[in-house]
Structure 1
Amino acid sequence: MSEPVQDGGTLDPNRRDFIYIAAGAGAAGAAAMTLIPLIGQMNPAADTLALASIEYDLSKVVEGQQVVVKWRGKPLFVRYRTPKEIKEAQDTDWKALRDPQPDSERVKAGHEQYLILVGVCTHLGCVPNFGGGEYGGWLCPCHGSVYDTSGRIRQGPAPKNLLVPDYAFLTDSKIKVG
């Protein structure tokens, strides 16, 4: 049988390489086993995931009414716009606005009467009130930002339009947000 020791009294290079590789693989495996639970705890909790999307029945909202629903800890404005509000929003010269966006990009085709917005002012995060300002939309009482009937910024310090969340119509009277 061959002995693992050579003339100089050192280990056989093949055996030494194997020990280094095995030790490195063991250390890498131990590091992975330690990091997996630590990274896993950064995922959202089950109760948070449950709130990530909501369904809402639009038949509860009548023409000219706005309902506020809580979604992801924020107010969600569900507005059933009147024909006059829709016409005003569509007739606005949107290219001249601070945050230019046509009304058609803020509503779903075939459901223009329903406007779904995150009800948080884009200036400092206040909640605007409906019916204020000269454009018939929302007015942020804290700093005077004025939004039109499509939720687009028209006056005041807010830099952006009210956010339109991702939503889809499940039926003609039911939406899923998120």
Structure 2
Amino acid sequence: MPLHTKAAAPLLRWTRHQLPTAAARAPAAVASLQQTRAASSVEAKTYKEANEYPDASFDNPFHRSGGTARETTSIPSFAKYRSNNSETSNRVFQYFMVGTFGALTAMGAKATVQDFLVNMAASADVLAQAKVEIDLSAIPEGKNVIIKWRGKPVFIRHRTSSEIEEAEKVNWQSLRDPQPDSDRVQKPDWLIMLGVCTHLGCVPIGEAGDFGGWFCPCHGSHYDISGRARKGPAPLNLEIPAYSFPEDGKVVIG
């Protein structure tokens, strides 16, 4: 039961005749009650502080002792994390790890780039058409042969001596696309060039035209016996592909 209830309980049991005496004693009972409540409040506050703040002391870092300021900068020690090896040994290990990871990274990058290039490379069927070998012994003198190389027609002309002489005596400096016959052939009796008109990509007709070479009926372009543009809208000579003679009687185009 609360203290104030215990203190006030005797007052409730006084009779009518005892009431004046009890009223006289009431101020003393109230004072005792107030004193008891104040003591209880102090005890509760002391108990709370003792449990919530067990160590309420505070060490002031700026406290001066004997006129000298206390050091306020606390630098932690990393001695237990330091290696027992020498500085040179640690540096060698670090360089080794960096070099190893760098080599692994370079190998990974090389493999990635190589796989990418392999995927971008030409397929087997395209590589099969990269070069074509022709047997020249089957082409008689004075005749044309048309073959297919990389999806384009290729003219192979076995020229006669008179055709070679005619091609060489032309004043090539005056042509729209100046080029001597010697720059267009590796062997004078074999003329090899792409059969694509330089105007709009048509296929000219052999042994036709005003110059005894090739004629494009689409737009009227004329080429001589060396495949040079001589008349019509064609701006350039017929293109010469890359070719070689690995042996007599054979040519490899591409």
User: Structures share a fold, TM > 0.5?
Assistant: yes
**In structure 2, what is the equivalent of residue 73 of structure 1?**
151
Q: Any runs of at least 4 consecutive aligned residues in structure 1 with deviations exceeding 3 A, and if so which?
A: 1-4, 25-39
CA distance in structure 1 between the partners assigned to 2:220 and 2:228 by the alignment? 14
Instruction: Give the alignment partner of residue 162 of structure 1, picking from 233, 238, 244.
Output: 238
Q: What value does the CA root-mean-square deviation take over the aligned residues?
A: 2.5
Measured after TM superposition, the shift of residue 27 of structure 1 is 8.9
**In structure 2, what is the equivalent of residue 51 of structure 1?**
129
1:30-109 maps to which residues of 2 (within 5 A)? 36-108=114-186
CA distance in structure 2 between the partners assigned to 1:154 and 1:160 by the alignment? 9
Q: Higher helix proportion, which one?
A: 2
CA distance in structure 1 between the partners assigned to 2:116 and 2:217 by the alignment? 43
Measured after TM superposition, the shift of residue 30 of structure 1 is 7.1
**In structure 2, what is the equivalent of residue 138 of structure 1?**
214
Gaps of at least 5 residues in structure 1 are: 5-20
- The structure whose RCO (Cα within 8 Å, separation 6+) is larger is 1
Any idea what the Cα deviations from partners look like across 1:101-154, whole Å, max 9, x if unmatched?
Answer: 11111111xx31110111111111111111221101111121111110000111
Identity %: 52
TM-score, normalized by length of structure 2?
0.57
Q: Which structure has the larger Rg over C-alpha atoms? A: 2
Any idea what the Cα deviations from partners look like across 1:49-94, whole Å, max 9, x if unmatched?
Answer: 1211111111110111101111111111111112221111111000
- The residue identity in structure 2 corresponding to 1:71 is W
**In structure 2, what is the equivalent of residue 115 of structure 1?**
191
Number of aligned residues: 162
CA distance in structure 1 between the partners assigned to 2:107 and 2:244 by the alignment? 44
**In structure 1, what is the equivalent of residue 202 of structure 2?**
126
CA distance in structure 1 between the partners assigned to 2:200 and 2:247 by the alignment? 35
TM-score, normalized by length of structure 1?
0.79
Give the direction of change, closer, same or farther, for the CA distance of 1:29–1:62 in structure 2 (3 Å limit): closer
SS at match of 1:41: helix
